[in-house]
Amino acid sequence: MKFVGMKRVVLIAVAGLVALAGCHNAKKENVQPPTPLDKDFKPTVQVTRLWRESVGDGAMDTGVRLRPTVVDGVLYADSSDGKLVALDANTGKTIWSRSSRTHGWFGWGDKKRKDAFYAGGPAVSGDLLAVGTLDGHVYGINAKDGSPRWEATLKSEVLASPVIVGDLVVVRTGDGRVYGLDAGSGERRWVYDQSSVPLLSLRGNGPLLVANGVVFFGSDGGRLVALRLDNGEKLWEQRLASGEGRTEIEQLDDADGAILLDGRTLYGAAYHGNLLAVDGPSGRPLWTHPFSTYVSPAVHGNALYGVDDDSQVWSFDKNTGAEGWKNDKLKYRWLSGPAVQGDYVVVGDVEGYVHWLQTADGALAARVRLSKKPIRAQPLVVGDIVYVEDVEGRIGAYRLGGAR
Whole-model pTM: value is: 0.87
Query: Cβ(120)–Cβ(66) under 8 Å?
Result: yes
In-domain check, residue 353: yes
Please give the pLDDT value at position 101: 55
Range of the domain at 395: 9-400
In-domain check, residue 3: no
In-domain check, residue 320: yes
In-domain check, residue 307: yes
In-domain check, residue 1: no
The whole-chain average pLDDT of the chain stands at 85
In-domain check, residue 394: yes
Region 302-317: mean pLDDT is 97
Structurally, how many domains does the chain consist of?
A: 1
Please give the pLDDT value at position 14: 37
Please give the pLDDT value at position 2: 39
CATH number of the structural domain spanning residue 253 = 2.130.10.10
Reply yes or no on whether the pLDDT at 110 is more than 60.
no
Region 256-278: mean pLDDT is 87
In-domain check, residue 286: yes
Give the model's confidence band at 254: pLDDT under 50 very low, under 70 low, under 90 confident, else very high. low
In-domain check, residue 217: yes
Give residue-wise pLDDT tens across range 120-161.
899 999 999 999 999 899 999 999 999 999 999 998 899 899
Over the chain, what HEC string results? CCCCCCCCEEEEEECCEEEECCECCCCCCCCCCCCCCCCCCCCCCCEEEEEEEECCCCCCCCCCCCCCEEECCEEEEECCCCEEEEEECCCCCEEEEEECCCCCECCECCCCCCCCCEEEEEEEECCEEEEEECCCEEEEEECCCCCEEEEEECCCCCCCCCEEECCEEEEECCCCEEEEEECCCCCEEEEEECCCCCCEEECCCCCCEEECCEEEEECCCCEEEEEECCCCCEEEEEECCCCCCCCCCCCCCCCCCCCEEECCEEEEEECCCEEEEEECCCCCEEEEEECECCCCCEEECCEEEEECCCCCEEEEECCCCCEEEEECCCCCCCCCCCEEECCEEEEECCCCEEEEEECCCCCEEEEEECCCCCCCCCCEEECCEEEEECCCCEEEEEEECCCC
Give residue-wise pLDDT tens across range 11-65.
433 333 333 333 333 344 457 899 999 999 999 999 999 999 999 999 988 888 8
Share of the chain above pLDDT 70, in %: 81
Query: Cβ(177)–Cβ(155) under 8 Å?
Result: yes
Share of the chain above pLDDT 90, in %: 66
Region 310-331: mean pLDDT is 97
Please state, in angstroms and rounded to a whole number, the distance separating the CA atoms of residues 118 and 381.
22
